[in-house]
């Protein structure tokens, strides 16, 4: 199906979708501007916290479950919309007491707990801007993001839990906050362990269910920033991608409905972490806008037992399950007979996110988990797009699914595959994936650097958004994603730039040059391998290799730990001195 290019028709589509949200003040114009400067629903005012909570409570649905939460050791909590609403108001009042007001950035460094969702909604209730940082990042990476945002307040927890280990988050925050503008550290206490407190700076967050507090939601303009989320790119400096309020919420509301058919009766589980864009769009905002019940889980997918996820689906009667190919590849090693012992009759939709899903994994997912009764909704999108761009639609028999293909663009999205000149390529030809029409969920810029935003995304192909991904279209017009066209790795669904990794390695005094190269991994999709040259007089040793690996863990996080480090005499370079990573990559992947 080809969607109309006519501007009037597309604007009517988005106006109709935006009308599903509660606006304080109607918009005067659907969109204004062009390319990276476009703004959606101009003149309209709304509040994201109100749209996710107040509307449901006012409609008499306060007793409906908003979040089913399960901890790694099987601890369970259940929060109704009324309880989540009360928690958000209490947190908003606390943030107000710390001086947070409209436009202020608040950094959140939290594990997968309901309080993380509540804090996000509390920040935006005040008209603030949340900047969530994945709690797997190191103190150095967290500090870099604190400094970049200029935030004065950070919210964390004392601990998180994963694979039976206690992750002490507060000491990481203490280290990261040194020599920054942080004035207050709010700490959600989860354990009985003593917390080292800075009496002038730290605030322990107490959550008394008996406290009735109401904070009036701040009316914000549609283009007012909702959040900043840092993502890696082709430079060593992460990009602070900003999303506006009205356009983003409209797009997330629409796309989760189109792709998954979500409604108030859905029991929805997206396994993504709150620190990534999927955790923003399709853990927090998407399901809550629709008044659905969602499952939220802290911990590893195969701990404390290999079938913990299957028990969760069975016990909570999950109807929509959205996870990554990385997780699925890990589960494919399990005994299918043991998986089959679980009751998956509740499932109606299966989703895939984070990286292209190959046909073998797609078929396993369909057969073993879906029992060939659930459509597999493979979604292509990015941090910068805000929501799904290319995906099947659950409630329409518009297409036949093809294992491994994200299928066709969603309504209002005009995608194409082009060559270096920006011209459409023939069917089954590899090219660059571009989007030829602005959409409401698109990023409104890079925090503090609008010129960089234009250069990265809108300059390579004038008039089109450059995704940085390779793709091809088959003879039916279906899109097949073929990986990154730039220097970005996808490690277990987490995007990280090679430049950021290389910058970290060069902090080791023994390293002269380094090339970070992605290598295929059966479970994680990709891992990083380092090729380094040493400074004169430095002798290679196993201890040195370990030190280099530790630098990466310290400066970025354990999830980026290199698979291998090779010490070489010299790196292959072009005549102009640029390292030829493609030769190293080809050699590692057996193509050279």
Is residue 493 pLDDT above 80, yes or no?
no
Q: How confident is the model at residue 329 (pLDDT cuts 50, 70, 90)?
A: confident
Cβ 55 vs Cβ 69: under 8 Å: no
pTM of the full structure: 0.86
- Residue 524 phi/psi, 5-degree rounding, is -85, -5
Is residue 148 pLDDT above 90, yes or no?
yes
Q: What is the dihedral of CA 206, 212, 216, 222, to 10 degrees?
A: 60
The residue to which tokens 């409906």 are assigned: 64
CA 204 to chain centre: 28
- Taking each helix axis from N to C end, the angle separating 114-125 and 81-97, rounded to the nearest 10 degrees, works out to 60
Work out the average pLDDT over 381-393: 96
Least confident of 149-153, 229-233, 347-351: 229-233
Arithmetic mean of pLDDT over the chain? 91
Cβ 268 vs Cβ 285: under 8 Å: no
Structure-block tokens of residue 159: 């601990």
Q: What is the pLDDT of residue 7?
A: 78
Cβ 435 vs Cβ 381: under 8 Å: no
Q: Is residue 181 helix, strand or coil? A: coil
The residue to which tokens 């700076």 are assigned: 201
Q: Which residue has the higher pLDDT, 4 or 146?
A: 146
Q: Which of these, 378, 258, 67, 391, lies nearest to 370 by C-alpha position?
A: 378
Work out the average pLDDT over 226-244: 85
Tens-digit pLDDT profile for residues 346-378: 999 999 998 888 888 899 999 999 999 999 999
Say how far apart CA 159 and CA 76 lie, in whole Å.
Answer: 17
Is residue 4 pLDDT above 70, yes or no?
no
Cis peptide before 337 (omega within 30 of 0): no
Structure-block tokens of residue 116: 């993380």
Is residue 545 pLDDT above 50, yes or no?
yes
Q: How confident is the model at residue 209 (pLDDT cuts 50, 70, 90)?
A: low
Is residue 509 pLDDT above 90, yes or no?
no
Is residue 198 pLDDT above 60, yes or no?
yes
Q: In sequence order, which residues have a C-beta less than 8 Å from that of residue 521 and are 6 or more positions away?
A: 527, 563
- Residue 412 phi/psi, 5-degree rounding, is 85, -5
Q: Which of these, 318, 247, 322, 230, lies nearest to 283 by C-alpha position?
A: 322
The residue to which tokens 């990481």 are assigned: 172
Work out the average pLDDT over 207-216: 80
42, 132, 222, 410, 571 from 32: Cα distances, Å: 7, 29, 12, 22, 49
- Taking each helix axis from N to C end, the angle separating 542-555 and 139-149, rounded to the nearest 10 degrees, works out to 30
- pLDDT above 90 covers a percentage of the chain that reads 74
Is residue 587 pLDDT above 80, yes or no?
no
Tens-digit pLDDT profile for residues 400-436: 899 999 999 999 999 999 999 999 999 999 899 999 9
Q: Which of these, 509, 514, 516, lies nearest to 538 by C-alpha position?
A: 509
Is residue 235 pLDDT above 80, yes or no?
no
Tens-digit pLDDT profile for residues 455-477: 999 999 998 999 999 899 999 99
Q: What is the pLDDT of residue 2?
A: 39
12, 32, 440 from 40: Cα distances, Å: 13, 7, 6
Is residue 138 pLDDT above 60, yes or no?
yes
Say how far apart CA 243 and CA 359 lie, in whole Å.
Answer: 33
């Amino acid at each position: 199906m080809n969607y109309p290019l006519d501007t009037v028709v597309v604007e009517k589509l988005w106006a109709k979708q935006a009308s599903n949200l509660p606006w304080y003040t109607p918009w005067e114009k659907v969109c204004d501007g062009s390319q990276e400067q476009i703004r959606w629903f101009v003149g309209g005012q709304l509040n994201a916290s109100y749209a996710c909570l107040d509307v449901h409570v006012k409609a008499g649905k306060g007793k409906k479950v908003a979040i089913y939460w399960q901890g790694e050791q099987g601890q369970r909590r259940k929060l109704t919309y009324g309880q989540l609403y009360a928690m958000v108001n209490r947190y908003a009042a606390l943030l107000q007491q710390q001086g947070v007001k409209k436009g202020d950035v608040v950094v959140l460094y939290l594990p997968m707990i309901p309080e993380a969702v509540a804090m996000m909604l509390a920040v935006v209730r005040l008209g603030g801007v949340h900047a969530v940082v994945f709690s797997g990042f190191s103190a150095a990476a967290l500090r870099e993001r604190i400094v970049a945002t200029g935030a004065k307040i950070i919210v964390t927890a004392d601990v998180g839990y994963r694979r039976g280990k206690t992750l002490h988050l507060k000491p990481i925050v203490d280290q990261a906050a040194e020599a920054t503008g942080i004035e207050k550290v709010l700490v959600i206490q989860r354990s009985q362990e003593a917390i080292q407190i800075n009496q002038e700076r730290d605030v322990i967050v107490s959550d008394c269910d008996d406290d009735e507090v109401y904070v009036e939601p701040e009316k914000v303009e549609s283009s007012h920033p909702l959040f900043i989320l840092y993502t890696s790119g082709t430079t060593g400096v992460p990009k602070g991608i900003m999303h506006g309020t009205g356009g983003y919420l409209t797009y997330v509301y629409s796309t989760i409905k189109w792709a998954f058919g979500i409604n108030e009766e859905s029991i929805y589980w997206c396994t993504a972490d709150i620190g990534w864009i999927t955790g923003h769009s399709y853990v927090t905002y998407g399901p809550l806008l629709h008044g659905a019940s969602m499952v939220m889980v802290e911990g590893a997918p195969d701990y404390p037992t290999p079938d913990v996820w299957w028990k969760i689906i069975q016990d909570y009667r999950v109807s929509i399950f959205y996870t990554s190919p990385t997780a699925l590849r890990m589960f494919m090693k399990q005994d299918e007979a043991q998986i089959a012992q679980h009751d998956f009759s509740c499932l109606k939709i299966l989703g895939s996110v984070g990286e292209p899903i190959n046909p073998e994994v797609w078929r396993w997912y369909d057969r073993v988990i879906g029992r060939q009764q659930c459509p597999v909704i493979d979604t292509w999108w990015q941090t910068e797009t805000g929501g799904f761009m290319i995906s099947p639609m659950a409630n329409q028999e518009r297409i036949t699914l093809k294992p491994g293909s994200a299928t066709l663009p969603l309504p209002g999205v005009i995608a194409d595959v082009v060559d270096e000149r920006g011209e459409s390529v023939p069917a089954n030809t590899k090219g660059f994936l571009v989007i030829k029409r602005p959409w409401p969920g698109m990023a409104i810029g890079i925090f503090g650097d609008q010129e960089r935003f234009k250069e990265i995304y809108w300059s390579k192909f004038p008039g089109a958004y450059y995704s940085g991904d390779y793709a091809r279209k088959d003879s039916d017009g279906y899109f097949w994603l073929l990986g990154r066209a730039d220097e970005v790795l996808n490690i277990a669904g987490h995007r990280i730039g090679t430049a950021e990794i290389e910058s970290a390695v060069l902090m080791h005094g023994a390293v002269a040059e380094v090339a970070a190269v992605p290598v295929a991994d059966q479970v994680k999709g990709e891992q990083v391998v380092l090729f380094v040259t040493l400074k004169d007089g430095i002798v290679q040793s196993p201890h040195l290799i370990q030190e280099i690996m530790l630098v990466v863990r310290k400066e970025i996080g354990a999830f980026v730990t290199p698979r291998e480090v090779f010490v070489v005499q010299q790196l292959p370079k072009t005549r102009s001195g640029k390292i030829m990573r493609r030769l190293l990559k080809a050699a590692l992947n057996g193509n050279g």
